[in-house]
Structure 1
Amino acid sequence: MEYCGTAIPPNPANMCVNCVRSIVDITEGIPKHATIHWCKNCERYLQPPASWVVCDLESRELLALCLKKLKGLGKVKLTIQKEVFTATILQQAFEVEFVVSSMMCPDCMRVMAQNTWKAMVQVRQKVDHQRTFFYLEQLILKHNAAHDTINIKEVKGGLDFHFAQRAHAIKMVEFLASMVPTRSKTSEQLISSDVHTSTSNYKFTYSVEIIPICKDDLVAMPKKVANSLGHIAPLVLCTRVGNTIHVIDPKTLQQADISGTVFWRHEGIDTVSAVRDLKEFYVVDVDLLGPRVGRFALADNDDVIIVRSHLGNLLNFGDTVLGYDLLTANINNPSFDKLNTEDMPSVVLVKKSYPERRRKRKVRPWKLKSLSKDEGDLAPKKQDQEKLEADFETFLRDLEEDPELRQSINLYKDTSAVPGRNTGEMDDEDDEDAPEVPLEELLDDLKITDDDVDMEA
């Protein structure tokens, strides 16, 4: 190769700068064009992958953000210098064009959602816990019912779903009605109208109320309603919540379903005791009285208090069980006061209980997914947050103990947890009868990224 022959001071390359530049391009691999994203509402820039930062024009912060977009800078210094030959450093100036692309950050999108939605579904339940909404959230995820939502907002007592089209809101209302007993009403608000074209713009609000009866609740009903449900006892236990409320008479194993229509048509159907009122009892003896009905069996549990229960096939001597103590309970409920006290049981057993220390130490090899929700102005206090965590723990325990409940939702393998590993030492006896989710019921948590799509293409 011929060089220019210009006289130069001695250097390790024995070439002038122009000749070195003609054979070496230190900017190779560095993109000359890049795009940075800017929120035109809050004037913040996107710092990948998901952070939004405030940067002034011609500031060091904005320069650092731009330099991070240039992947090839990892091979050269920030002054665009590079050692091309032994003891020879070449410095070269070049221009990079950055295009500012306007978009809206997630925070501003949530703020603007109230002005862009055309229909909203307000879901409420008049209870003092969130277990129903934990279950409802899993149903929505499994059936992908929130696909068309533009925002999900947490509010006191429930959730608000925002939609860009009225048809999507109606679809959500129908989905909720197919999953749990509900009733709904519709209201509309005129936003704008054009007298010349006779067109109007409305916003629609669908208020959905979920029946205020939950799993393991003790339910009282008028005698007339009980007779219409197959002459079942007026005091029953809720065993499952689906599109109807499934109840059972613990004394006879008779079962019935209470639909949302029946609940709201008749007054007096009410919860008289909930999970928060459960007390722990010790089982001394179990005397089976007959064959099973489904997963239940009738039995007398003999102690100071003789209890006839539907848990005969689940209990053994030495077990502990949770139940409602109606002898000492102070129940202030009109529906309960109207019941015949002669047929009133002393204790209503609900479910088997397990050592608390085992429940706290056990590492679950599974997890649940959650919806992306906007907390809005709802800032829970410390005591509210503790209550929320307690409700969620109760929901997780219900999933471990009830196979029927697990069938309706998806549980995923938690790769961060080691199945069977405990966080503390305990006796093998504690784990022998402990409720657990079988590994064959768990799904793989499959995540598809943009890189995977590019590789397949």
Structure 2
Amino acid sequence: MAAMEMFHVQQTPGVVLCCLCGTAISPNPTNMCMSCIRTQVDITEGLQKQLTIFYCRNCGRYLQPPRAWIKAELESKELLTFCIKRMKNLSKVKLVDAGFVWTEPHSKRLKVKLTVQKEVFNDAILQQTFVADYVVEDNMCDSCSRAAGNPDQWVAVVQLRQKVDHKRTFFFLEQLILKHGADANTVNVKKMHEGLDFYYGHRSHALKFVDFVNSVVPVRHRNDKQLVSHDTKSNHYNYRFTFSVEICPICKDDLICLPQRLSTSLGNLGPLVLCTRVSNSLFLLDPATLRTSFVDAQQYWRAGYKPLLTSRQLVEYVVLDIEVIGGGAHSNNDSAGAGGGGRYLLAEAQVARKSDFGQNDLIFTTRTHLGRLLSPGDYALGYDLYGANTNSDELDSLKSANLPDVILVRKSYEEKRRRIRGKPRPWKLRNLAMEVDATAVSGRGEEEQQQRDYERFLEELEEDPEMRSRIALFKNPQYTKVETASMAGDDGEEPPQVPLEELLSELRIADQEGGDGDGVGSDGPEEMDM
């Protein structure tokens, strides 16, 4: 054993000469160096180096044969995937890496650098990189060509209507449509007197939009069709389809006097209740007991009642005193998911109308669900049942009952907002491109009223975090910060604002600096309140 340990044989790796150039290399199945292998074998043979893709400039979509059109930004992951799928015979090699090579945005060229691998000869893996050139040709899609040829050439229209005296519902519905991309197949949008008209090139697109609206608001709809033309030889009919969709006239913060039958079916709720939220169901709250319930679309349209008082009839009150009742014991409501639980707190408040100061000493005592928000000296908006002139059979039947004189709805920030009203906000919203009908705005007074409704809608977004969580808010690059001292009131309290962490940044590929193109672009970023 000792003799064997004394002798150690050192093995040296063998080398062979390349059969083509004679270079000393380690043995391999081909007996050729890598340079010679590349000269003899081209693994990219059969792969397309130049392709043509079609792009619609009007809608910014690319043609995915045979008839599909996809939306993709320049140097995005979606566009890179689209370009790779268009290349034929790519399945014969293994794709290792892919990325864009930067080109001028107006050059009508897209260059994609691809790295592929393939097994050649006997178990030898060869890797090669090449650049594929995509020529972008302009070609209008069917929807854009139809709209350009004749804007009135549509097949189906969805007439969305709501019989109320404000437009806040459609402002919020517009944001939901933009967030969920429900306007993707819309040919044209027209603003009408009591709502919006959405035009589509196919009946299936209109049905899809009706289903979307039905999922976010309580609606009822009916459809009709009109014969446009008939070919007797081929027995081919052309129809125009009309979908009439009516949105429930009950909106957020409306006061409702429930019919006796409905109140009994909801466990003797109310009968005076507030609508705290609207999705595909109505969420109702009894401010005197904190009991909650919800009414779906079928239940509502079966009864078909209207609001007793709307948000335009709110009166501003001054809170003189407030006292919590039972320490929040009433938070065990019938439906905690409908906005109860820890959100509301039952309290007894003494209030006086702001307009009565210096006129009389009229003071009202009422129960309210705003025990967590109100303090003595605050302002609140509520309904004045003491002096209201209502025309309701349900309310007339309750004259013998002990009804409150005041029902408070929400805290008022009017005094604090007056100092900053008219100044830009640090956030903004996107808007639908729509055509305004001549009957939509009949005069200057109605146009000013719509502007006030839009301003009130923006204030609701600032006050309600749950409401703005359902839409997309973007940073306003033109915003200049307002001094905090000018925003706060006499008590040092600021009006509600949207936190900066809730805002999204609009991604603009054209504004970014171009690189060598090895990477791709990053990704950009129900219920409904009315």
Query: TM-score surpassing 0.5?
Result: yes
Q: Aligned residue for 2:458?
A: 396
Report the CA distance between 1:425 and its aligned residue. Answer: 3.9
Aligned length: 355
Q: Aligned residue for 1:276?
A: 312
Report the CA distance between 1:358 and its aligned residue. Answer: 3.0
Match among 380, 387, 399 for residue 321 of structure 1: 380
Report the CA distance between 1:319 and its aligned residue. Answer: 0.3
Which protein, 1 or 2, shows the higher relative CO under an 8 Å CA cutoff with sep ≥ 6?
A: 2
Unmatched tracts of structure 2, length 5 or more: 1-56, 58-105, 107-138, 332-340, 352-362, 521-530
Q: Aligned residue for 1:296?
A: 344
Structure 1 residues 156, 427: closer, same or farther in 2, change over 3 A? closer
Report the CA distance between 1:333 and its aligned residue. Answer: 2.7
> Over residues 293-334 of structure 1, what are the superposed CA-to-partner deviations in whole Å (9 max), with x where a residue is unaligned?
331100000352111000011101110000001000111233
What is the RMSD of the two structures over their aligned residues, measured on CA atoms?
2.9
The secondary structure found in structure 2 opposite 1:271 is coil
Give 1:284's aligned amino acid: L
User: Matched residues in 1 for 2:514 and 2:235: separation?
Assistant: 47
Range with bigger deviation, 372-381 or 280-289: 372-381
User: Matched residues in 2 for 1:245 and 1:370: separation?
Assistant: 26
User: Matched residues in 1 for 2:460 and 2:492: separation?
Assistant: 17
Q: Does the 8 Å CA contact 2:488/2:495 hold for their aligned counterparts?
A: no
> Over residues 225-244 of structure 1, what are the superposed CA-to-partner deviations in whole Å (9 max), with x where a residue is unaligned?
01212321121001111111
The secondary structure found in structure 2 opposite 1:440 is helix
Q: Aligned residue for 1:373?
A: 434
Q: Does the 8 Å CA contact 1:413/1:444 hold for their aligned counterparts?
A: yes
> Over residues 75-104 of structure 1, what are the superposed CA-to-partner deviations in whole Å (9 max), with x where a residue is unaligned?
xxxxxxxxxxxxxxxxxxxxxxxxxx999x
Give 2:465's aligned amino acid: P
Q: What are the within-5 Å matches in structure 2 for residues 250-269 of structure 1?
A: 250-267=287-304, 269=305
The secondary structure found in structure 1 opposite 2:325 is strand
Q: Aligned residue for 1:410?
A: 472
Q: Aligned residue for 1:384?
A: 446
Structure 1 residues 333, 452: closer, same or farther in 2, change over 3 A? farther
Structure 1 residues 193, 271: closer, same or farther in 2, change over 3 A? same
The secondary structure found in structure 1 opposite 2:425 is coil
The secondary structure found in structure 1 opposite 2:435 is coil
Aligned residues with identical type, % of pairs: 43
Give 2:313's aligned amino acid: D
Q: Aligned residue for 1:157?
A: 194
User: Matched residues in 2 for 1:129 and 1:386: separation?
Assistant: 12
Give 1:286's aligned amino acid: I
Q: Aligned residue for 1:196?
A: 233
Give 2:476's aligned amino acid: D
User: Matched residues in 2 for 1:435 and 1:448: separation?
Assistant: 33
User: Matched residues in 1 for 2:488 and 2:195: separation?
Assistant: 41
Report the CA distance between 1:112 and its aligned residue. Answer: 2.5
Structure 1 residues 376, 454: closer, same or farther in 2, change over 3 A? farther
User: Matched residues in 2 for 1:145 and 1:224: separation?
Assistant: 38
Structure 1 residues 168, 425: closer, same or farther in 2, change over 3 A? same
Q: Does the 8 Å CA contact 1:126/1:157 hold for their aligned counterparts?
A: yes
Matched, 1:219 2:256: yes
Q: Does the 8 Å CA contact 1:221/1:270 hold for their aligned counterparts?
A: no
Match among 179, 199, 205 for residue 242 of structure 2: 205
Give 2:350's aligned amino acid: D
Structure 1 residues 232, 117: closer, same or farther in 2, change over 3 A? same
Q: Aligned residue for 2:508?
A: 447
> Over residues 352-400 of structure 1, what are the superposed CA-to-partner deviations in whole Å (9 max), with x where a residue is unaligned?
0011423516542111110000113346221111001000011011111
Report the CA distance between 1:258 and its aligned residue. Answer: 1.5
Structure 1 residues 172, 273: closer, same or farther in 2, change over 3 A? same
> Over residues 95-152 of structure 1, what are the superposed CA-to-partner deviations in whole Å (9 max), with x where a residue is unaligned?
xxxxxx999xx9x9479222x2111100000001100000100000000100000100
Q: Aligned residue for 2:119?
A: none
Report the CA distance between 1:453 and its aligned residue. Answer: 9.8
Q: Does the 8 Å CA contact 1:300/1:307 hold for their aligned counterparts?
A: yes
Structure 1 residues 389, 287: closer, same or farther in 2, change over 3 A? same
What is the TM-score when the length of structure 1 is the normalising length?
Answer: 0.72
Report the CA distance between 1:447 and its aligned residue. Answer: 3.2
Match among 264, 267, 284 for residue 247 of structure 1: 284
Give 2:434's aligned amino acid: K
Give 1:277's aligned amino acid: Q
Q: Aligned residue for 2:101?
A: none
Unmatched tracts of structure 1, length 5 or more: 1-36, 38-70, 72-100
Q: Does the 8 Å CA contact 2:157/2:199 hold for their aligned counterparts?
A: yes
Structure 1 residues 444, 190: closer, same or farther in 2, change over 3 A? same
Report the CA distance between 1:452 and its aligned residue. Answer: 8.2
Match among 184, 190, 214 for residue 177 of structure 1: 214
Report the CA distance between 1:284 and its aligned residue. Answer: 1.1
User: Matched residues in 2 for 1:442 and 1:451: separation?
Assistant: 20
Give 1:113's aligned amino acid: P
Q: Aligned residue for 2:150?
A: 112
> Over residues 217-269 of structure 1, what are the superposed CA-to-partner deviations in whole Å (9 max), with x where a residue is unaligned?
001121110121232112100111111111100000001111111111124x2
Q: Aligned residue for 2:411?
A: 352
Structure 1 residues 447, 430: closer, same or farther in 2, change over 3 A? farther
User: Matched residues in 2 for 1:180 and 1:402: separation?
Assistant: 18
Q: Aligned residue for 1:338?
A: 397
Report the CA distance between 1:404 and its aligned residue. Answer: 1.0
User: Matched residues in 2 for 1:273 and 1:452: separation?
Assistant: 56
Give 1:217's aligned amino acid: D
> Over residues 145-182 of structure 1, what are the superposed CA-to-partner deviations in whole Å (9 max), with x where a residue is unaligned?
00000100011100000000110000000000001000
User: Matched residues in 2 for 1:451 and 1:171: separation?
Assistant: 36
User: Matched residues in 2 for 1:427 and 1:225: separation?
Assistant: 45
Range with bigger deviation, 362-371 or 345-354: 362-371
The secondary structure found in structure 2 opposite 1:297 is coil
User: Matched residues in 2 for 1:437 and 1:162: separation?
Assistant: 34
Report the CA distance between 1:450 and its aligned residue. Answer: 9.9
Q: Does the 8 Å CA contact 1:412/1:442 hold for their aligned counterparts?
A: yes
User: Matched residues in 2 for 1:258 and 1:197: separation?
Assistant: 50
Report the CA distance between 1:427 and its aligned residue. Answer: 5.0
User: Matched residues in 2 for 1:148 and 1:429: separation?
Assistant: 51
Matched, 1:305 2:397: no
